[in-house]
Structure 1
Amino acid sequence: MFTIILQAQQGNPYMQFIFFGAIILVFYFFMIRPQQKKAKDAKKFQEEIGKGDYVVTIGGAHGRIAEIEDDTFILEVEKGGRIKFSKTAINMEATKAASGKK
């Protein structure tokens, strides 16, 4: 029984730290960093929109921005219909696809 335990402990103890460090780096570069970049791009997009821009909300409503307040906007839909939304309700990918921007 003790020989099995001794065999498992014969490896370099620093290799375990290197392995865990590599796992942390992989998580950072493939999961955390892209999410931070996507959030930063979405925030920048929300700050750049202005009156008259065509947007699509996360609920699927399409229309032009009629008014902008601090963190809300009024979306003008078909024939003068107006709906108030939060700026966080704008879907960046769908808006870019609908307006033809990249």
Structure 2
Amino acid sequence: MQKSKKEKKFAEELKKGDKIVTKSGLHGKVFDFSEKNNAVIIETGSGKLTYDKSAISLEMSQKLNQPVVEKK
């Protein structure tokens, strides 16, 4: 139940320009929102795609946005 609440909060806090990963593994950047369809328009290398907000992966998106730690 906590995971569901976190994912819902994450989806609500998305903003244009955020880098995200969908649960199917598609990487992209938030281009716009479609509130009518409760969807996100994602800009990818091949164009713009519309995905339901629930298709965005909280864990993979957070991992993508973590700063890179260089190994010594």
- TM-score using structure 2 length: 0.85
Q: Quote the Cα distance in structure 1 between the aligned partners of 2:58 and 2:12.
A: 12
Larger relative contact order (C-alpha < 8 A, sep ≥ 6)?
A: 2
In the TM superposition, 1:5-84 aligns within 5 A as 36-70=1-35, 71-78=38-45, 81-84=47-50
More strand by share: 2
- Higher relative helix content: 1
Runs of 4 or more above 3 Å deviation: none
Aligned pair 1:93/2:56, yes or no? no
TM-score normalised by structure 1 residue count = 0.61
CA RMSD of aligned residues (A): 1.2
**What percent identity do the matched residue pairs reach?**
34
Aligned pairs, number: 65
Q: Larger Rg: 1 or 2?
A: 1
Unaligned runs of 5+ in 1: 1-35
